[in-house]
Amino acid sequence: MSLRLLPLLVTIATFVLGAILCSLQFPHFASTRVFTNLLTDNAFLGIVAVGMTFVILSGGIDLSVGSVIAFTCVLLAILIERDHVPPFVAFAIALSVAGLFGAAMGALIHVFRLPPFIVTLAGMFFARGMCFVLTTDSIPIGAPLYAQLYRHAIDLPGHGKLSVIAIIMLLVVAAGMVIAHRTRFGTNVYALGGNRVSAELMGVKVGRTTIAIYTLSSTLAGLAGIVFSFYTGAGSSLAATGVELDTIAAVVIGGTLLSGGVGTVFGTFVGVLIQGLIQTYITFDGSLSSWWTKIAIGALLFGFIVMQRVLVAVAGRRGSLA
């Protein structure tokens, strides 16, 4: 049990230590405002990372999420601005389209036994390409709902504002934790990632679970797209490029094994916060190149992967990870 929890503890310790170091260096850092900003700024990343956690837990990968976010934003902008669809109807349409897209990828992966890497890579190009088919412009969304959302934030002491999109993200993380650790589907995902053959022998419906996993991931990417459109108030085809890689990094830093079977949704959430923390540190400093964000995340990733290898080796000697 301790071996399973160790990566999570290391992740949490990294975040706490980082936050303390930042607060010591910048007097304005230790405020509810910076913390709620961290939640708001990384809301879309947090949501999509929850979906990615399930995919990676099952031993797969989903490279299409960034493009699905962009596609959702563009679709929403067109539906709301050009076709005057009420925003909530547009949200439902966007989520359904994203969900179906994920289901199709899941079905391809299962039925034709294709590697998820290739299928979702194709999905990534397809979704990004479809954005440009819809429009090459960046379309502002002027619906009153979008302007109002900004006003509906819960004020916290110290100028902190818990925004709607931050609340959505926290709810998704909570729901993800329940699904992963308290439902049959969650158990199946872990079993599939642990060992596909024995999962099948134990009676896990592999096909149904695989399709459900990719549907969940794409639907959450669609939700992240809705949140992203709240965040920028516009739909642009170039939005969220490279987010799939940031997401995978967050999941791995959060303590999930890339080979599947081990990991937690909460760890992913902390992984997202760590990335946000590094970015915030660099803007607070103001003299460092922002590319240091990537370097720091790269170094962290490397450290966590090495740690995972060591843990797996140790566990292998002891017999099992449990």
Partner 1 sequence: MTPKSTIPAFGVLALLMTGTAAFAADTLTVGFAQVGSESGWRAAETKVAKQKAQQDNVTLKISDAQQKQENEIKAVRSFVAQGVDGIFIAPVVATGWDSVLREAKDANIPVFLLDRQIETSDPSLYTAAVTSDTVLEGHMIGDYLAKITNNKCRIVELQGTVGSSPAINRKKGFGEAIAAHPDMQIVRSQSGDFTRSGGKQVMESFIKAENNGHDICAVFAHNDDMGIGAIQAIKEAGLKPGTDIKVVSIDGVPDMFKAMADGEANGTVELSPNMAGPAFKALIALKTDHTQPQKWIKTPSTLYTPATAQAEYDRRKPLY
Binding site for partner 1 (CB under 8 A): 26-28, 31, 33-34, 37, 40-41, 44, 138-140, 142, 146-147, 150, 228, 230-234, 236, 238-242, 279-280, 282-291
Residue 57 or 76 having the CB closest to partner 1? 76
- Amino acid code (one letter) for 289: S
Residue 190 or 230 having the CB closest to partner 1? 230
Alpha helices, DSSP H, located in the chain: 2-25, 32-41, 43-57, 65-77, 87-111, 116-134, 144-151, 164-182, 184-194, 196-201, 206-232, 243-253, 265-285, 291-318
Residue 54 or 230 having the CB closest to partner 1? 230
In the complex, minimum distance from the CB of residue 251 to partner 1, in angstroms, rounded to a whole number: 19
Which tokens go with 91?
Answer: 């949200």
Show Cβ contacts of residue 176 under 8 Å, excluding neighbours closer than 6 positions: 50, 51, 53, 54, 265
Residue 122 or 288 having the CB closest to partner 1? 288
The DSSP symbol for 115 reads -
In the complex, minimum distance from the CB of residue 15 to partner 1, in angstroms, rounded to a whole number: 17
Q: Which among 61, 171, 80 is positioned nearest to 120, based on CA atoms?
A: 61
Residue 74 or 130 having the CB closest to partner 1? 74
Residue 115 or 158 having the CB closest to partner 1? 158
In the complex, minimum distance from the CB of residue 43 to partner 1, in angstroms, rounded to a whole number: 11
C-alpha 96: how far from chain center: 19
In the complex, minimum distance from the CB of residue 146 to partner 1, in angstroms, rounded to a whole number: 8
In the complex, minimum distance from the CB of residue 37 to partner 1, in angstroms, rounded to a whole number: 5
In the complex, minimum distance from the CB of residue 287 to partner 1, in angstroms, rounded to a whole number: 5
In the complex, minimum distance from the CB of residue 302 to partner 1, in angstroms, rounded to a whole number: 21
Residue 54 or 281 having the CB closest to partner 1? 281
> Could you please report the per-residue DSSP string of 119-171?
HHHHHHHHHHHHHHHH-SS-EE---HHHHHHHH--EEETTTEEE-HHHHHHHH
Question: Residue 140 phi/psi, 5° resolution?
Answer: -75, 145
Contact 299, 248 (CB under 8 A): no
Q: How far apart are CA 162 and CA 153, in angstroms?
A: 5
